[in-house]
């Protein structure tokens, strides 16, 4: 049997966050140590409640730690118009019975990095506020984290928020993204453009949601609004799931078919570009290529990991 992977998931659930969390919990060789919760898609009150509810639905006892309720410097707009006012499609679910842990998310990150030094993988599915705080408290944190995978950015400027080249997670808290991406020596990035490039035909994905499992039932309900919104406003025939793709890169690194290692900075000032990931594609700056950008992932393996998260049998090998 393969070695157990200890995973810390920082997240702002969020419909695609939910799918990524389901995927991680479905893997027999993964131990999810904690969900640390950020504000982002909706406010912290909702993202914490959604995390607790999702775990309760699938019967997981993963501890949940609440983090920062606001970005480090400037207020930011949420994405309730995509994920629903409560972030989980406004389905009116019953209150979760489980409670959040008393420890702050940033402190839990530091503590768990000591307890699982050299082993733990951090996957960041929301704005980077909690990790920026943890890293400011303890600059030695990267030495104990085996791998950092971030969903964020739009590496050639095709973003998904009103400021055209900006992606939601880096745009929500640019200062946090700057702190993490300028101080972490080496990280993996799964950006919005990779998300679009790995979108799935709805003719394939819709039947997965109809599967008769606890996870698929719940995910189908909470994602209905988002899927309708995607059909109305984007490509009606394809379904994009950003955080699920980042989680796939964590769970199956061998299924990544192409990486590009480049220097990367965050724009903090531009009126139209604040929060942009500025990639030095031609490597003219001489700066260290600290971002390993995921360009291509095996589509069959991606589909397989999503299906296992929804409780379906797996097709592809690996
Ligand atoms: C990212 O923004 C959020 O709306 C999603 O959950 C994902 O993390 C995509 O830009
Ligand atoms: Ca997210």
Domain with 106 in it: what CATH number? 3.90.245.10
In the predicted model, is pLDDT for residue 305 greater than 60?
Answer: yes
Give me the pLDDT at residue 43, please.
Answer: 97
pLDDT above 90 as % of the chain = 91
Q: Is 17 a pocket residue for ligand 1 (Cβ < 6 Å)?
A: yes
Which of 35, 72, 68 minimizes the C-alpha distance to 51?
35
Kindly list the strands in the beta sheet with 30-37, ordered across the sheet, starting from the edge strand earlier in the chain.
Answer: 64-66, 30-37, 5-11, 121-124, 147-151, 187-190, 291-297, 256-262
Give the position, in ligand 1's atom list, of the atom nearest the Cα of 15.
Answer: 6
Give me the pLDDT at residue 229, please.
Answer: 86
Distances (CA, A) of 236 to 115, 185, 228: 46, 39, 9
**Ligand 1 centroid distance, CA of 15 (Å):** 9
In this structure, is the dihedral angle defined by the CA atoms of residues 299, 169, 11 and 186, taken in order, positive or negative? positive
Whether residue 89 lies inside any domain: the answer is yes
Distances (CA, A) of 93 to 56, 58, 297: 12, 14, 34
Whether residue 60 lies inside any domain: the answer is yes
Whether residue 314 lies inside any domain: the answer is no
**Ligand 2 centroid distance, CA of 128 (Å):** 10
Give the position, in ligand 1's atom list, of the atom nearest the Cα of 79.
Answer: 4
Q: Is 245 a pocket residue for ligand 1 (Cβ < 6 Å)?
A: no
- In tens, the pLDDT along 146-158 reads 999 999 999 999 9
**Ligand 2 centroid distance, CA of 88 (Å):** 12
- In tens, the pLDDT along 168-200 reads 999 999 999 999 999 999 999 999 999 999 999
Choose the residue to mutate in 124, 151, 219 for probing ligand 1, maximizing ligand atoms within 8 Å of C-beta.
Answer: 151
Whether residue 315 lies inside any domain: the answer is no
Give me the pLDDT at residue 235, please.
Answer: 78
Give me the pLDDT at residue 314, please.
Answer: 66
Residue of minimum CA distance from atom 4 in ligand 1 = 41
pLDDT band at 315 (very low <50, low <70, confident <90, very high): low
**Ligand 1 centroid distance, CA of 286 (Å):** 31
- 200: β partners: 239
Give me the pLDDT at residue 318, please.
Answer: 41
Whether residue 242 lies inside any domain: the answer is yes
Residues with CB in 5 Å of ion ligand 2: 12, 14, 17, 125-126, 243
d(CA 186, CA 231): 36
Round the average pLDDT of the chain to a whole number and report it: 95
**Ligand 1 centroid distance, CA of 133 (Å):** 20
d(CA 27, CA 40): 26
Q: What's the rounded mean pLDDT across residues 224-242?
A: 88
Q: Is 265 a pocket residue for ligand 1 (Cβ < 6 Å)?
A: no
Record the tokens describing residue 19, joined without a space: 């799918």
Give the position, in ligand 1's atom list, of the atom nearest the Cα of 14.
Answer: 6
Q: Is 15 a pocket residue for ligand 1 (Cβ < 6 Å)?
A: no
Q: How many domains does the chain have?
A: 1
Ligand positioned closest to the Cα atom of 82: 1
Q: What is the pTM of this model?
A: 0.97
Cβ atoms < 10 Å from Cβ of 74: 12
**Ligand 1 centroid distance, CA of 2 (Å):** 31
DSSP 148-169: EEEE---TTS--SSSSTT--HH
Segments forming the whole domain that contains residue 234: 5-309
**Ligand 2 centroid distance, CA of 18 (Å):** 9
Cα first-last separation, the chain = 13
Q: Is 39 a pocket residue for ligand 1 (Cβ < 6 Å)?
A: no
Whether residue 318 lies inside any domain: the answer is no
Distances (CA, A) of 277 to 120, 132, 161, 178, 302: 26, 16, 13, 9, 25
- In tens, the pLDDT along 78-106 reads 999 888 999 999 999 999 999 999 999 99
Give me the pLDDT at residue 2, please.
Answer: 66
């Amino acid at each position: 049997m393969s070695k157990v992977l200890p995973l810390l998931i920082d997240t702002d659930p969020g419909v695609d966050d939910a799918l990524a969390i389901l995927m991680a919990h479905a893997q027999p060789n993964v131990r999810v140590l904690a969900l640390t919760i950020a504000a982002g898609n909706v406010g912290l009150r909702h993202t914490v409640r959604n995390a607790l509810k999702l775990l309760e639905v699938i019967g997981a006892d993963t501890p949940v730690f609440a983090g920062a309720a606001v970005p480090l410097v400037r207020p930011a707009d949420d994405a309730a118009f995509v994920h629903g006012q409560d972030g989980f499609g406004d389905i009116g679910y019953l209150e979760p019975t489980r409670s959040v842990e008393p420890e702050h998310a940033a402190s839990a990150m530091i503590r768990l990095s000591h307890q699982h030094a050299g082993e733990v993988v951090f996957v960041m599915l929301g704005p980077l506020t909690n990790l920026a705080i943890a890293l400011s408290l303890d600059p030695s944190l990267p030495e104990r984290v085996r791998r950092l995978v971030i969903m964020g950015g739009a590496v050639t400027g095709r973003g998904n928020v009103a400021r055209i080249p900006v992606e939601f997670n880096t745009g929500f808290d640019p200062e946090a993204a700057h702190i993490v991406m300028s101080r972490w020596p080496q990280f993996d990035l799964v950006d919005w453009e990779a998300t679009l490039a790995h979108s799935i035909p709805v003719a394939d994905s819709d039947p997965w949601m109809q599967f008769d499992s606890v996870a698929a039932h719940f995910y189908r309900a909470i994602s209905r609004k988002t899927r309708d919104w995607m059909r109305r406003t984007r490509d009606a025939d394809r379904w994009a799931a950003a955080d699920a793709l980042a989680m796939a890169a964590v769970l199956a690194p061998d299924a990544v078919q192409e990486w590009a290692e480049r220097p990367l900075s965050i724009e903090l000032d531009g009126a139209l570009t604040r929060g942009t990931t500025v990639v030095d594609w031609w490597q003219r700056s001489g700066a260290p290529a600290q971002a390993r950008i995921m360009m291509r992932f095996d589509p069959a393996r991606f589909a397989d990991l999503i299906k296992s998260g929804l409780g379906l049998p797996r097709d592809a090998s690996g």
